[in-house]
């Protein structure tokens, strides 16, 4: 009998297409194009296989999943498989009719992202004029369709001072929950880290604001808080352990242990186009690579937290130290912790020396790479 644990969650990245261009997007720098996307029939099979494997909930994500004209059919297929369905959306491209149809086919929950509570700043970050007003409309439409709504607010240097306004915005939108989540520095956020990483003073102010707001909105709004990796002394248990509780399927069908896993060189990812999900989960080289604790080096190998935080994030270890087998340098016990301390020092320096507007470095917006001229 297999000793591999069963996954509970599936992140289905339906597309990398998105009308917005957030500089902290967690999608890879090399975005997949529409022509490479899995079709409806394959997604329907993947959902059936996921449910048979033990998966309970699926996050329908992207990019912007609403960019797929067959989102309603994909959602219906996930619901038919018996999965709890959560739609992760920017709200752009989903109107009242589409939300009503999604509710009708069995969508269980909507998670809608906002960039800020200040309209012009939100639009500047999203890279689209009028985006925030369209999000307000989408939020109202989701609630009117009877769908429970969570707002996701990604926190960075440019909006950290407006957390109370974002919470008020979530209430006005009709949300039951808000996730106040510091940006995680992978993908586009890592490329833009110099412009996004908040100062320690901002991080502490956000934490205090969340505590205060939780008391103020008790019984009306649940406020979740995701702390920033770079300001802790121990890492988070990334994905609750590699290949342990959840998996991602990217728009082309590659099954990944986490959304950034493809950034680690040398891993072989099997595709749902070629193999059943159970075989991929249990036997694929990429899932086996960092499952459990056997792969660990010191200081993780002999650390009492090895099966608590699993050595942190493999993708972050690779991105910051050049080797995915290293301890996540967010951990103060890592011999390479200095790279994180340096980033924190850099984040503090310009903000102390200049006014916030002057301190803001230009962003690299998330865009598809232009095709090379023929």
Which residues touch 358 (CB under 8 Å, ≥6 apart)? none
DSSP annotation of 31 reads: P
Which tokens in the block code for residue 124?
Answer: 């500047």
Cβ proximity to ligand SF4: between 132 and 366 the closer is 366
CA distance linking residue 98 with residue 76, whole number of Å: 13
Give the interface segment with ligand SF4, choosing from 65-73, 277-285, 296-304, 344-352 (CB under 6 A).
Answer: 296-304
Give the 3-state DSSP-derived string for 41-100, with helices as H, strands as E and coil as C. HHHHHHHHHHHHHCCCEEEEECCCHHHCCCHHHHHHHHHHCCCEEEEEECCCCCCHHHHH
Q: Which stretch binds ligand SF4 (CB under 6 A): 31-39, 57-65, 199-207, 265-273?
A: 57-65
User: Cβ 293 to ligand SF4, closest distance in Å?
Assistant: 8
Does 250 engage in binding with ligand SF4 (CB under 6 A)?
A: no
Among 112, 213, 303, 319, binds ligand SF4 (CB under 6 A): 303
* Binding of residue 366 to ligand SF4 (CB under 6 A): yes
Nearer to ligand SF4, 90 or 192 (CB): 90
User: How many residues make contact with ligand SF4 (CB under 6 A)?
Assistant: 26
CA 263 to chain centre: 15
Q: Least distance from C-beta 303 to ligand SF4, angstroms? A: 3
Q: What is the spatial distance between Cα 325 and Cα 315, in angstroms, rounded to a whole number?
A: 10
Handedness of CA 99, 100, 104, 108 (dihedral sign): positive
Neighbours of 345 (CB within 10 A): 11
**Beta carbon nearer to ligand SF4, 143 or 306:** 306
122 or 300, CB closer to ligand SF4?
A: 300
Residue 45 or 305: which CB sits closer to ligand SF4?
305
Answer yes or no whether residue 18 interacts with ligand SF4 by CB under 6 A. Answer: yes
> Judged by CB under 6 A, does residue 192 bind ligand SF4?
no
Closest separation in Å from C-beta 366 to ligand SF4: 5
Segment near ligand SF4 (CB under 6 A), from 145-153, 248-256, 266-274, 300-308? 300-308
Strand partners, 13: 61
Give the CA-trace dihedral at 146, 148, 154, 155, to 10 degrees. 110
Binding track over 62-101 against ligand SF4, x by CB under 6 A: xxx-------------------------x-----------
What the block records as the tokens of 69 is 């004209």
Among residue numbers 320 through 339, which ones bind ligand SF4 (CB under 6 A)?
Answer: 327-328, 331, 333
In this structure, the number of other CB atoms found within 10 A of the CB of residue 304 comes to: 6
User: Is residue 312 near ligand SF4 by the rule CB under 6 A?
Assistant: yes
Contact 136, 162 (CB under 8 A): no
Residue from 113, 152, 184, 192 binding ligand SF4 (CB under 6 A): 113
CA–CA separation, 133 and 115 (whole Å)? 12
The residue ranges that bind ligand SF4 (CB under 6 A) are 18, 20-22, 25, 27, 62-64, 90, 113, 234-235, 299-300, 303, 305-306, 309, 311-312, 327-328, 331, 333, 366
């Amino acid at each position: 009998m297999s000793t591999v644990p069963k996954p509970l969650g599936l992140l289905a990245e339906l597309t990398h297409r998105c009308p917005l261009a957030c500089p902290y997007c967690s999608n890879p720098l090399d975005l997949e194009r529409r022509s490479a996307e899995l079709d409806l029939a394959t997604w329907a099979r993947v959902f059936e296989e996921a449910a048979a494997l033990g998966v309970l909930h699926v996050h329908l994500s992207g990019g912007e999943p609403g960019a797929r004209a067959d989102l309603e059919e994909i959602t219906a297929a996930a619901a038919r498989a018996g999965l709890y369905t959560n739609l992760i959306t920017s709200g752009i491209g989903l109107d009242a009719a589409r939300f009503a149809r999604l509710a009708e086919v069995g969508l269980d929950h909507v998670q809608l992202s906002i960039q800020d509570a200040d309209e012009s700043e939100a639009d500047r970050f999203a890279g689209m004029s009028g985006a925030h007003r369209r999000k307000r409309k989408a939020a109202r439409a989701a609630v009117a369709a009877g769908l429970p709504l969570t707002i996701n607010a990604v926190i960075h240097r440019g909006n950290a001072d407006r957390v109370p306004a974002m919470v008020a915005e979530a209430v006005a939108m009709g949300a039951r929950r808000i996730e106040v989540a510091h940006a995680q520095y992978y993908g586009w956020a890592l490329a833009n880290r110099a412009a996004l990483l908040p100062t320690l003073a901002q991080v502490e102010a956000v934490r205090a604001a969340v505590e205060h707001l939780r008391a103020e909105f008790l019984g009306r709004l649940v406020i979740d808080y995701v702390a920033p990796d770079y300001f802790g002394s121990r890492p988070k248990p990334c994905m609750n352990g590699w290949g342990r509780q959840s998996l991602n399927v990217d728009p082309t069908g590659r099954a990944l242990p986490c959304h950034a896993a493809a950034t680690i060189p040398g891993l072989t990812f099997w595709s749902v186009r070629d193999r059943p999900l159970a075989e991929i989960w249990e036997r694929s080289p990429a899932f086996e690579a960092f499952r459990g604790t056997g792969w660990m080096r010191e200081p993780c190998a002999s650390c009492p937290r090895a099966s608590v935080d699993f050595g942190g994030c493999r993708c972050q270890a690779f991105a910051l130290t050049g080797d995915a087998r290293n301890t996540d340098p967010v951990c103060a016990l890592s011999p390479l912790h200095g790279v994180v301390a340096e980033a924190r020092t850099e984040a503090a320096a310009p903000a102390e020396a200049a006014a916030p507007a002057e301190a803001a470095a230009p962003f690299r917006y998330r865009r598809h790479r232009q095709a090379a001229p023929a």
